[in-house]
Chain A
Amino acid sequence: MTIADACIHPYPEGDSSLRRMAVEAGELGFDSIVVPDGTPLIYSGVRVIPAVLIAEETVRAVSGQLRKRGNGQSLVMVNAGENGFNRAVLNLKGVHMLRNLHLTRKQSFNHVCARQAADRGVAIDLDLYPVIHAAGRTRQRVLVRFGELIRLYSRYRFPLTISSNARSVLDLRSVEEITLLCSLFGMEEDDVQAALTTVGGLLNPPGPVRVLP
């Protein structure tokens, strides 16, 4: 079973090397980490899963990036936008994860998107960085948004992932700490465990059984 932090940013984006992040993640209970623009690697027992991070504002641009950068070996993560954009992105082949939903408007991810995400097997990412680092109104808004997503999740059961978006080893949190933090917006322990293991199945989704001659 793969227990993964769905997005971290090692040096030069952050202040910690990829190897150090892997060592720390292993000590905190993870066996995989997802790194945008990373290279596949296993260090200190922790598997580094490369990812492609697409931050575009139009579906056409996202399609272009998918063609250019999607290689089938990397997780493809797309930053969320308005409702129409999200619905179109959820229909694109090759997208594994929709992220940064807490930065979008309330109606950007509704029950239609939730059903689509569940049907297409696209994961919705919960970014814990603002829960840990923000305060006041900003954190309240994020908690409310995540609470709404969890309500939709309990109805439609689309895949969820949890990321720390850590730029330093000091931003990483253990599996236990993540479970406690997720309880702030009503996520059950079993759902947290399921969300942490989602990444392993995104690159190799279960397909129909084929009979080989």
Chain B
Amino acid sequence: MKPLPPTLRTKKRYILVGIEPPGTGADQKDFYHAVADAVTSLFGDVRAAAISPAVISSGPDYVIIRCARGGEQDLRIALSTVTAAGDGRIVLRPRATSGTLHALRRRLPEERPDEPEQPAEVHFGGRVYIARRYQGQKVDLMEKGIKSQELLFLTQNDLEEL
């Protein structure tokens, strides 16, 4: 089959979006559902169809979302209203918009070097948490357990004062 000439193809935009907290365990399908639901909830089916959001790639702390040209601003607004993906609470922070995937991939966050070994277990408020340190002074605490683990967001200074 002869491919459609470039002038007749629908123009796309690609948005690089940061995921916080990184490594939530949600997969691409979860992100797609979260974004599609947010767009539909905010702008309705007609506008969602025009925007046509699609998740085309993801990593532990980023996701690349495609949309129709002209829909990127509405998509960014809808991304601000995403609060969960899969079972985890997240926030999506748009980092860059581009007309080509090639340009966007150059702006992907670099793999972070492993943090030095730190005590993994932290006792806080009578509960046991697993500490996860990243980006210098930030420390995320995840309650040890199987179900409905509580998340706490602290800094290194907070931990030292415990």
Contact = CB atoms under 8 A, between A and B. Distances in A.
Interface-centre pick from A133, A169, A181 (highest chain B CB count, 10 A): A169
Contact of B155 (A20, A171, A173): A20
Nearest to B90: A170
A174 B91 CA distance: 11
Q: What does DSSP make chain A's interface, helix, strand, loop or mixed?
A: helix
Contacts of B153: 15-17, 20, 24, 168-170
B41 interface: yes
A170 B83 contact: yes
B73 interface: yes
Given A170-B91, A180-B76, A181-B77, A136 B41 contact: yes
Contacts of B57: none
A54 to B, nearest CB: 28
Contacts, number: 68
B154 A16 contact: yes
Contacts of B137: 23, 44
Nearest to B152: A15
Contacts of B154: 16-17, 19-20
Interface string A9-32: 001000111011001100000000
A104 to B, nearest CB: 23
A177 B41 contact: no
Contacts of B94: 177
15 contacts: A15-B152, A16-B153, A17-B153, A19-B154, A23-B138, A133-B81, A169-B91, A171-B83, A173-B80, A177-B76, A177-B80, A177-B94, A181-B81, A183-B77, A184-B42
